[in-house]
Amino acid sequence: MTANQTLIQEKLNSYFSTIFEKKLIKEIINIGVFKTIKTGDSLINIGDQMTHIPLILNGVIKIIRENDHGDEIALYFLGEGDTCAISIMNCINKKDSIFKCIAEKDSEIILIPFENVLKWFKLFDTWSYFILNSYHERLYEMVDSIDGLAFTKLDERLQKYLTETVKVMESHELNITHQKIADDLNTSRVVISRLLKQFEHEGKIELLRNKLIVKVFN
């Protein structure tokens, strides 16, 4: 076993050993490519040809949709034990990516070649369930994002965004700018700054330079 395969085995066993059977984990070790992504770096860009899907070992990956004018909106986050269902569908349809995936904090992933994704779907029930369940969860999260845009007031969307970010980052202290929040919610920085000031006045957050501390949301 190579050094790279030994590293993959250690990382896989820390999470996926309770999800996948030993034979599947052995196959992942043999063909998987281990990769680290630093905070702010891209895993997938719009227009990339999709040849692999990622298994997230640790860290946080943000999935972003961007329109023709460069406006962005964050759809959902991927964390430990997740995969990107959008990557799977793009691979199946042989289409280039229409989404961006960016590391919100340092992350470790294993890249699985697409041909193995389909092969294992037929061979391993645990893999089939994992892929289908991942697709269902990501679809639900995208629908939830659409509902938020269509039916939810911006202050409620901002509150939910901060609450979810605290959860995925595992910290109440968020190193994030007002502009970044505005980009993720597809609105203006001025509006976000005004709402954050309101939240601070209500004792829900504390604003610091280029970061904020989330205290409590009722």
Contact 113, 87 (CB under 8 A): no
Please identify every stretch of the chain with a pLDDT value under 50, giving residue numbers as ranges: none
- pTM value? 0.76
Query: What is the structure's pLDDT at 76?
Result: 86
Q: Tell me, rounded to whole angstroms, the distance of Cα 148 from its chain centroid.
A: 18
Query: What is the structure's pLDDT at 217?
Result: 66
Domain with CATH 1.10.10.10 in the chain: 152-214
Q: Which CATH architecture has domain 152-214?
A: Orthogonal Bundle (1.10)
Domain with CATH 2.60.120.10 in the chain: 3-149
Residue position matching structure tokens 């939240």: 199
In this structure, the dihedral spanned by the alpha carbons of residues 167, 146, 101 and 99, taken in order and rounded to 10 degrees, is 180
Query: What is the structure's pLDDT at 23?
Result: 93
Say whether 124 sits in a helix, a strand or coil: coil
The fold for domain 3-149 equals Jelly Rolls (2.60.120)
Query: What is the structure's pLDDT at 56?
Result: 94
